[in-house]
Amino acid sequence: MILSKDFLKKRILIVGSNGMLGQRLTEYYLRNEKVELLASSAEDESFIKEVEYRKIDITNKDEVKKLINDFYPDVIINAAAYTNVDGCETNKELAWNINVNGVANLAHYAWTCDAHIVHISSDYVFDGENGPYSETDRVHPISYYGRTKLASENTLKGSGVFATIIRTNVLYGPAKYGRPDFVKWVVNSLRENKTIRIVTDQINNPTYIDDLVSAISKIVEYKKEGLYHIGGKEFLSRFDFTIRIADFFELNKDLIVPIKTAELNQDAPRPLKSGLLTLKAEAELGYSPRELEETFLLMQKELNL
Ligand SMILES: NC(=O)c1ccc[n+]([C@@H]2O[C@H](COP(=O)([O-])OP(=O)(O)OC[C@H]3O[C@@H](n4cnc5c(N)ncnc54)[C@H](OP(=O)(O)O)[C@@H]3O)[C@@H](O)[C@H]2O)c1
């Protein structure tokens, strides 16, 4: 058992700590002296070296049991998921195992130690016919990924555990490890003089990861239960988002080619008119997302972009 040196500290377990969101959460809580932190993810080692880390496969019930019973967390933040939207269409069993059964495993053992689970879901629970969406809007996923995320929400709701579900959309930000986020990909591609084809018919409010991290920290601090939508300040098409990135980083906009989603022939259909209304989070958490250009500036500084 990993014993706490200070029983007054909040014990937080981050699951999926090597992912794009997970690594920013890990960096955030590492700086908080009132938190005893354990990071866990699928890889052998943590990308962030300073943190106490355990390898975990959330689909393995025995591993989840051992991890949770050893650490006995007050809070479990689940940022682990099978996030490859097209991959979910062709690997349905794997997607369900990770995104639904994995969450059920976490919920089961969270219940045994009375921990608060904070779980990340997606705007893909909606069909994208008439977004942006509030927490009370009707769900209707059109992709298998969306179905697994909705099922993960229902699993938590039915588990009896103290749980918060956060739906977010199009994450971007200064994650340093793993695959590049959308902004970094656009910047790198345009700097390398590559043409990029970007859809004009997918509308979202892209979410700066650190805005999401701050919302999560408030949910943990205020012990908020239930459902929250967390998104960015502006609703715009992916094409317009890309133009704003190119403008800020002074890149060649002629390389950005507008296309329609249908032209991509992807395995999974995408919700087109989507985006998440954040009024509830603004009122209850004081959530206040940054301006797009401010987030680009922060990324530029932190990643030397
Ligand atoms: N990115 C977005 O735009 C977006 C939008 C809406 C909602 N979300 C949700 O936000 C959350 C975080 O997304 P993200 O973009 O940070 O995802 P990500 O970068 O793909 O990170 C997910 C992490 O979970 C790990 N993982 C996968 N299977 C696991 C397993 N069986 N056991 C333990 N860990 C496992 C992954 O490891 P491997 O890399 O080794 O597989 C990875 O480190 C997810 O719930 C996602 O559905 C994301």
> What's the 302 CA to ligand 1 centre distance in angstroms?
22
78 located within any domain: yes
121 located within any domain: yes
The rounded distance, in Å, linking the Cα atoms of 231 and 212 is 8
Quick: pLDDT tens for 229-254.
999 999 999 999 999 999 999 999 99
For residue 125, the 8-state DSSP code is G
The rounded distance, in Å, linking the Cα atoms of 63 and 42 is 11
Structural domain boundaries, residue 95: 10-173+203-235+271-303
259 located within any domain: no
Report pTM. 0.97
The pLDDT assigned to 237 comes to 98
The pLDDT assigned to 8 comes to 80
- How many domains are contained in the chain? 1
Q: Which residues contact 169 (CB under 8 A, 6 or more apart)?
A: 122, 123, 204, 205, 206, 207, 231, 274, 275, 276
> What's the 16 CA to ligand 1 centre distance in angstroms?
6
Residue 217: its H or E element: helix 209-221
Is 145 considered catalytic here?
Answer: yes
Quick: pLDDT tens for 5-52.
556 899 999 999 999 999 999 999 999 999 999 999 999 999 999 999
Q: Mean pLDDT score of the chain, rounded to an integer?
A: 97
Which residue among the candidates 145, 172, 208, 287 is catalytic per the annotation?
145
Mean pLDDT of the region 123-127: 98
